[in-house]
Amino acid sequence: MSSSETQKPESSKDNISSNSIDEGLPRELSQLSLSSGSSQDEFFCDTGHSGAALKNIFGYYQSQKLCDVVLIAGGCRIPAHKILLASCSEYFAAMFTGSLREAQSSEITLERVDPQALQDLVHYCYTGTIELREETVEVLLSTSSLLQLNSVTNACCAFLKKQLDPCNCLGIALFAEQQSCLDLHKSALKYTYQNFMQVVKHQEFLSLQSDQLSSLLKSDDLNVVTEENVFESLMTWVQHDSATRECHLSTLLKLIKLPLLSSEYLIDKVEQACGNVPECQPLIMEAVKWHLLPERRSLLFSHRTRPRTSTIGRLLAIGGMDGYKGASNMEMYDPRTNTWTPFMRMGARRLQFGVAVMQNKLIVVGGRDGLKTLNTVECFDLTSLSWSVLAPMNTHRHGLGVAVLGDGPNSPVYAVGGHDGWIYLNSVERWDACSRTWTIVSPMTGARSTCGVAALRGRLYAVGGRDGGACLRSVECYDPATNHWTNCAPMTRRRGGVSVCAAGGYLYALGGHEAPANTVGGRLACVERYDPVADTWILLARLSYGRDAIGSCLLGDRIVAVGGYDGVQYLCVVEVYDSESNCWRKLAPLSTGRAGAAVVSVPPPKNVF
């Protein structure tokens, strides 16, 4: 049999069925092919369907048709549709779809719910719109939070953020906490801290409970000029109702950073106001010891000796190498916002110079201009933002160390070691602010350049550096009373290009290089600390990158390490040291990498910062 003979003929039944279908259809449809091969099927979507359906449901709500539940609050009856409420609110979804008896009830009473807020929220479920008003937004927020209408809750929180003011921010913060609106609570507290000086002038502050005031005073983020502002706010609160609040004074005084107040203020103000309260006397004595026994401050550290962020000033990173011709600009770091911003420019280009801060002035000393080593000295007034020229040093120096010895307005500035363009130097000069002259003092026992120099406990320390040969481990200490240098215990590592900072009664040596500075590699990430009492060095947590030419400074009570050179590139990394956990954590980076920048802490003049 041939292959054609094996094919099955078309079924007559199939033909009859097809013809029957065609005969029952209009002519234009009967001409369409019904085979899948040429199908014109398509998916139709009515984009206005959901809106139209919801509009119709709202019409039924308005005419109270097909409603299957009545919500009752404060005597107000609100007919509605369970299916719609459940689709908008997790609260109603759980009520109507679970095993609760309300699922079968046609009338439901909601206790302690504002009837107008409930009516507005039911209306919102049908329309997606609701009016937010200053006088009713808190009731609306608490009700929407109960009904788990999260979109309305978020809208109310956003509305209240816009209403924040020194007269209401404490109340909004407390309300947000009660409603578990964490983002609003955080925003209200941040606003309160930022505007603390205005907040304390309003009734909300005076009406705080003692535990609420305690939570406020604990924060290191209070934006105050000095700690005196915080103490005075406490006394204002106490005196507002002294009969019932004086019993809280000793507890709340523990939250004031008394050691950071001046000794005069402690005696004239704090002692006079609180000295007759026995529980306050140990706190006042602790603060007095902080001033009288600076050598014991490492034993007196507590939360009361840690400055609030707004009082620690700002950091300035000045100049340094930036991979081009050397930076002549400054960047300013604000610890409250963790940001760097451009500040000013130096009067002239300098590299490997030193900087000291005296009475709101920057003293910029020596360095190189790219061609020659300088002995010139400039002064930048942070208040007037103006530059002036001071008397030059006796010796041209780059790679020198500069430090102020003392806390007084006329404390001397020392310029230590360096290189004069020909030889490494062991000579030291002192700037006298009264006579406005430089004088030579006793030289170091050895020459050193790119060493770390810092003042600690009334003495000057010169750490590491280079003497023309290998990098140095040696450390020398200068006593101004005897005009004499003595050797101290050497560091654990040789460090040229080392950065040194004094903090908490110790010296810290950061980074540096062991190999010649012009070779790749050999940069150090290790950090060590010197105890002048025990005359010993110990290793601490390492920096995140090995580098030399780091700029370091004490900001508040913590060391900040800025920039540096890793042998390949100039770094913009900035790290802060936490002595309690012995670790470094990163801060916002510089806008551009730089090494050898002078980094100093400066107070925030009102007309600048």
DSSP assignment of 43-86 equals: ----TTHHHHHHHHHHHHHHTT-S--EEEEETTEEEEE-HHHHH
Per-residue confidence at 18, pLDDT binned at 50, 70, 90? very low
> Are residues 375 and 462 part of one domain?
yes
Residues 505 and 362 in one domain: yes
399 CB-contact burial (10 Å; exposed 0-12 / middle 13-18 / buried 19+): buried
Q: Which of 206-210, 349-353, 536-540 has the lowest mean pLDDT?
A: 349-353
Tokens at residue 530, please? 């010197």
Banded pLDDT at 301 (limits 50, 70, 90): confident
pTM flag (> 0.85): no
Asked if pLDDT for residue 147 goes beyond 80, the answer is: yes
Mean pLDDT of all residues in 586-591: 95
Domain end position, chosen among 136, 163, 190: 163
Q: What's the confidence (pLDDT) of residue 469?
A: 79
**Residues 375 and 504 reside in one and the same domain:** yes
Other C-beta atoms closer than 10 Å to the C-beta of 495 total 29
From the CB of residue 285, how many other CB atoms can be counted at a distance below 10 Å?
Answer: 11
For residues 408 and 437, membership in a common domain is answered with yes
Q: Please indicate, yes or no, whether residues 409 and 295 belong to a single structural domain of this protein.
A: no
Q: Yes or no: say if 425 and 416 are a contact pair by the CB < 8 Å rule.
A: no
Q: Which of these three, 145, 163, 181, is where a domain ends?
A: 163
Position 40 in a domain: no
Same-domain check for residues 291 and 319: no
Mean pLDDT of 270-283: 91
Residues 577 and 458 in one domain: yes
Range scoring the smallest mean pLDDT among 102-106, 383-387, 449-453, 591-595: 102-106
Q: Is residue 479 assigned to a domain?
A: yes
Does residue 11 lie within any of the structural domains?
A: no
Percent pLDDT > 90 in the chain is 67
Provide the residue type at 186 as one letter. K
Does residue 561 lie within any of the structural domains? yes
How do strand 107-109 and strand 551-555 relate by DSSP bridges?
unpaired
> Per the structure block, which two tokens stand in for 253?
């005084």
Reported confidence tier of residue 60, pLDDT bands at 50, 70, 90: confident
Please give the residue that has the higher pLDDT: either 167 or 98.
167
- Please say whether the beta carbons of 417 and 462 come within 8 A: yes
The phi and psi torsions of 402 (rounded to 5 degrees) equal: -130, 135
Reported as a pLDDT band with limits 50, 70 and 90, residue 51 is: confident
Enclosing H/E stretch for 503:
strand 499-503
pLDDT of residue 53: 84
Q: How many CA atoms lie within 13 A of 591 on its CB side?
A: 15
115 and 73 fall within a common domain: yes
Query: How, if at all, do strands 107-109 and 69-73 pair?
Result: parallel
Domain count within the chain: 3
- In this prediction, residue 48 has a pLDDT band, given cuts at 50, 70 and 90, of confident
Q: Are 494 and 472 in contact (CB under 8 A)?
A: yes
Query: What is the pLDDT, as a whole number, of residue 79?
Result: 93
Give residue 534's pLDDT.
94
Contact 396, 419 (CB under 8 A): no
Arithmetic mean of pLDDT, 520-529 = 87
* Residue 203 scores a pLDDT above 60: yes
Residue 356 falls inside a structural domain: yes
Query: 151 by DSSP, 3-state: which?
Result: helix
Q: φ, ψ for residue 112 (rounded to 5)?
A: 55, 35
Whether 564 is in a domain gets the answer yes
Work out the pLDDT band at 7, boundaries 50, 70, 90: very low
Tokens at residue 29, please? Answer: 């449809």
- Find the domain containing 142 and state its range: 51-163
Q: Which residue has the higher pLDDT, 2 or 226?
A: 226
With 60 as the cut, is the pLDDT of residue 108 above it?
A: yes
Q: Say if residue 490 is in the same domain as residue 380.
A: yes
> Do 293 and 356 belong together in one domain?
no
Query: What's the CA gap between 572 and 564, in Å, rounded?
Result: 8
pLDDT at residue 38 in the model? 56
Q: How far is CA 382 from CA 409, 549, 559, in A?
A: 15, 25, 22
Q: Return the pLDDT at 370.
A: 79
Average pLDDT over residues 550-559: 93
Please report, for the domain that includes residue 229, its CATH number: 1.25.40.420
User: Residue 384 contacts by C-beta under 8 Å, 6 or more apart in sequence?
Assistant: none
Q: How confident is the model at residue 302 (pLDDT cuts 50, 70, 90)?
A: confident
Last residue of a domain, one of 100, 132, 163: 163
Q: What pLDDT score was predicted for residue 517?
A: 60
Beta-strand relationship, 373-381 and 413-416: unpaired
Do both 371 and 423 map to the same domain? yes
CATH code of the domain in which 439 resides: 2.120.10.80
What is the pLDDT at residue 39? 66
Task: Answer yes or no: are the C-beta atoms of 364 and 355 closer than 8 Å.
Answer: yes
pLDDT at 28: 42
Over residues 577-589, the mean pLDDT reads 94
- The predicted pLDDT at position 518 comes to 62
The sign one gets for the Cα dihedral 150, 156, 162, 163 is negative
Q: CA–CA separation, 332 vs 600, rounded Å?
A: 10
pLDDT tens digits for range 156-197: 999 999 999 999 999 999 999 999 999 999 999 999 999 999
Interval 5-10 mean pLDDT: 42
Evaluate whether 138 touches 176 at the Cβ level (below 8 Å): no
C-alpha dist (Å) from residue 114 to 62, 75, 118, 121, 157: 21, 10, 6, 11, 18
Is the residue at 179 inside a domain? no
pLDDT at 325: 67
Average of per-residue pLDDT values in the chain: 88
CATH number at residue 114: 3.30.710.10
Handedness of CA 489, 493, 495, 498 (dihedral sign): negative
* Residue 97 resides in a domain: yes
User: What pLDDT score was predicted for residue 29?
Assistant: 40
- Residues 467, 328, single domain; the answer is yes
Question: What pLDDT was estimated at residue 324?
Answer: 65
